[in-house]
Each structure stands twice: as structure tokens, then as C-alpha cells.
Amino acid sequence: MAEARIARDLGRPAAGGGNAIGAEQAARRLIDAGVRALLSFGLAGGLDPALRPGALLIPREVLVEGERFGADPDLLRRLGGSTVELALADGQIADTPAIKRRLRQQSGASAIDTESGAVARVAQQRGVPFAVLRAICDPAERALPPAALIALDHAGSVRILRVLASVTAAPSQIPALVQLAWDGAIARRALIRRVAELRERLAGV
């Protein structure tokens, strides 16, 4: 997973998880291996229309099925401080602008991802601190093409045959996939820049 490779530049163990199940499994493996803090790292979808591709998301809390989990204050400080109050992280996918608007209205969250909630729950269960560092990939007004919804497995690896089959069946989604890839590249560059800034700040975690 590209985001896991970026995270490893922090000099800490990293494991990929393409959805909530994979994120939970990865979080447990890391703690079992001796990791003392969890950072949910990667991409997110925008719910707040003001958040553009590449905007960095460091929420003070994550919302998981109606339950709020607060990020560790010391980790937030080391990450440079929170950028938003709340992110939605209960494993669901917001693939249309209408769904994103509804989730924004219902929750007040600024962004959404499928993994941070699982990480937060494992952190609470195992008594370790956690925080979230993600970059906006698809903004609030953009829909996700069908191929993007089936692209990743539990480990965060691209299921290329499924993607190709989806594109073959519906080639009209190609422009949306190209836009998503472009925005994803912007988001990953933002993460790379922030990781470079954080190497010394996270020393000792």
C-alpha cells in the first residue's frame, strides 16, 4: 500500500489496511509487535466543501457509530495540532456528493475514511494512544467511480483484475478515475511533505 510505504519514512513500523477489517487486523498486529502508539495514516474523503485535495486532516476526535474517540493530546501536539474537530470513521464509504452532504449534516464531521474508527477502537481496547493523519483525496462535490469502490482488499493492495473488469464493463468512468488518481497524487505528496517534517518531532514515540 502506497500510504504504508510513506508512513515507514517516519522510522516506525507500518501496516496497510484497505478497509475497517484490514485496519483492525493491522492495528492488532502492530501492538502485538510492541508498538506503543497508533497513527491512522492515509487518504480521506472530504465532507466539508472547503477541504480541497491535499488538505491535511488531523482531527481532535473520530466518530464511530455514534461513539466519539479522542485523539491523544501529546500525539496531536507532535503532529502539529489538530486541523479539524471531527472526522467520521465508521467504515462506510461516501461515494456520492449527496451522501457526503447528508453525512456532513448529520454528524458535523469534516471528512470521512474507512479505517480510523477501527484503529481508534483497537487503541482504546489495548490501552495505547492514537491519532489520525490523513490527506483529502476526493472532495465533497466529487463522486467516486465504481472501480474505486472495489480497488482495495483488506490489506490495502490493489485488486487490479477487478478494477480492469469494472472499467471494461463501464468505460465511461475512466475520466473520473483519472481525476481521482490526480487528486490522490496531490494528497500523497502532501503526506510525504508532512512526514518529512515530522521525523524529528515524533522522535521518542
CATH number for 82: 3.40.50.1580
Residue 45 belongs to a domain? yes
Q: Indicate the pLDDT class of residue 141, thresholds 50, 70 and 90.
A: very high
Residue 34, domain member (yes or no): yes
Radius of gyration of the chain (CA): 16
Whether the pLDDT of residue 199 is over 90: the answer is no
| Domain encompassing residue 130 | 2-142+186-201
Q: Which pTM value belongs to this model?
A: 0.84
Residue 14 lies in a domain: yes
**Rounded-to-integer distance, Cα 6 and Cα 135, Å:** 12
The structural domain count of the chain equals 1
- The answer to whether residues 89 and 120 touch, using CB atoms and an 8 Å cutoff, is yes
β-bridge partners, 88: 63, 112
- What are the cell numbers at 87? 472526522
Residue whose C-alpha is closest to residue 110's, from 131, 89, 92: 89
pLDDT beyond 90 at 99: yes
pLDDT reading at 5 higher than 70: no
21 and 154 in contact (C-beta within 8 Å)? yes
Gap between the Cα atoms of 19 and 154, Å rounded = 6
Q: Is residue 49 part of a domain?
A: yes
Residue 160 lies in a domain: no
Query: Averaged over 168-189, what is the pLDDT?
Result: 87
User: Long-range pairs for 182-187 at CB < 8 Å and ≥24 separation?
Assistant: 183/53, 183/54, 183/137, 183/138, 183/139, 183/142, 184/43, 184/137, 186/53, 186/54, 187/43, 187/53, 187/54, 187/135, 187/136, 187/137
